[in-house]
A = this chain, B = another copy of it.
Amino acid sequence: MASFVESFWGERNNGFDVLYHNMKHGHLSTKDLADFIRERAAIEEAYSRSMTKLAKSASNYTQLGTFAPVWDVFKISTEKVASCHLELVRKLQELIKEVQKYGDEQIKAHKKTKEEVSGTLEAVQNIQSIIQALQKSKENYNTKCVEQERLKKEGATQREIDKASIKSKKATDTYKLYVEKYAAAKSDFEKKMTETAQKFQDIEEMHLLHMKEIVESLSNTVKEIHLQIGQVHEEFINNMANTTAESLIQKFAESKGTGKERPGLIEFEECNTASAVEGNVQMQIQLTFLTLMTKGTVLNQKQARISFFLLQKYW
């Protein structure tokens, strides 16, 4: 398996830079994840609001006719779906808080790590500058050698050759010094970079495990609400199965029925003149009392006197 300790060396020795920035990008991915969940929560909230509106539409549909009670089934189910999605919003918002908390911890941890790996950064800069200096000193050494040789071949004066020899000697010393310095820098760099690459890999592993935990939490929440919504659907299907055409017809007949009595027989009624006259008045008295009683009216003196007179005369 390719690991950080193995894969971030190379000619230019800038594996450290790549790994350090990768750690910093870990914080960006945390912010991205929070943004993703936030956008999802906003979508769910909008959906929930629309569903609540749809439930209201259902209750505004015609309350006339046999189908009317079905709108209640729709209304209840749609409200439940809306509230499932709102529950999802609430859980996502909690999750966002967790992600943000983790992001804050990350910033602190990265700051601490930056300090801890500062020695490695120095080792990197050191080996990089020594390699440059070594290269330069080697070139200088070669130039000086060739110059000395050329003077000898072209038969220059001894003075000129001696001067070139001193320069060549000095270039040789510098070159040798950088060869030694490089050996020390290489050893220091290898040791520190090995440690730091492992540290960056550990940090990355922890980060990824944490991110995966958050994603798991997200998918568990989504799954849980999905199951709840499934139950609402099942409930709706059951409620609709129980809402039979027969029961709707029965309900309508019971609530809007105009009466069970068919038109009665009507026969010719012989006129009883005595009872007709008296009957009419009696009827009128009874109606008056009934009206007054249902209205809860207390009779005034005059009404009471008239009532008494009528009762005496016709009862």
Contact = CB atoms under 8 A, between A and B. Distances in A.
Interface of A: 1-4, 6-15, 18, 21-22, 25-26, 28-29, 32-33, 35-36, 39-40, 43, 46-47, 50-51, 53-54, 57-58, 61-62, 64-68, 70-71, 74, 127, 131, 134, 138, 141-142, 145-146, 148-149, 175-176, 179, 182-183, 186, 189-190, 201, 204-205, 207-209, 211-212, 215-216, 219, 222-223, 226, 229-230, 233, 236-237, 240, 243, 245-246, 248-250, 252-254, 256-263, 265-269, 271, 273, 276-277
Given A219-B233, A258-B14, A182 B145 contact: no
Contacts of A18: 256, 258
Given A9-B261, A36-B61, A43-B54, A67 B219 contact: no
Nearest to A254: B2
21 contacts: A2-B253, A8-B257, A8-B258, A9-B261, A14-B258, A15-B259, A22-B256, A25-B62, A29-B61, A32-B61, A43-B51, A43-B54, A46-B46, A149-B273, A176-B268, A186-B265, A208-B245, A215-B240, A216-B237, A226-B226, A226-B230
Given A15-B258, A271-B141, A66 B204 contact: yes
Given A25-B62, A65-B26, A36 B74 contact: yes
A22 to B, nearest CB: 5
A18 B256 CA distance: 8
Given A25-B64, A68-B29, A13 B273 contact: no
A66 B9 contact: no
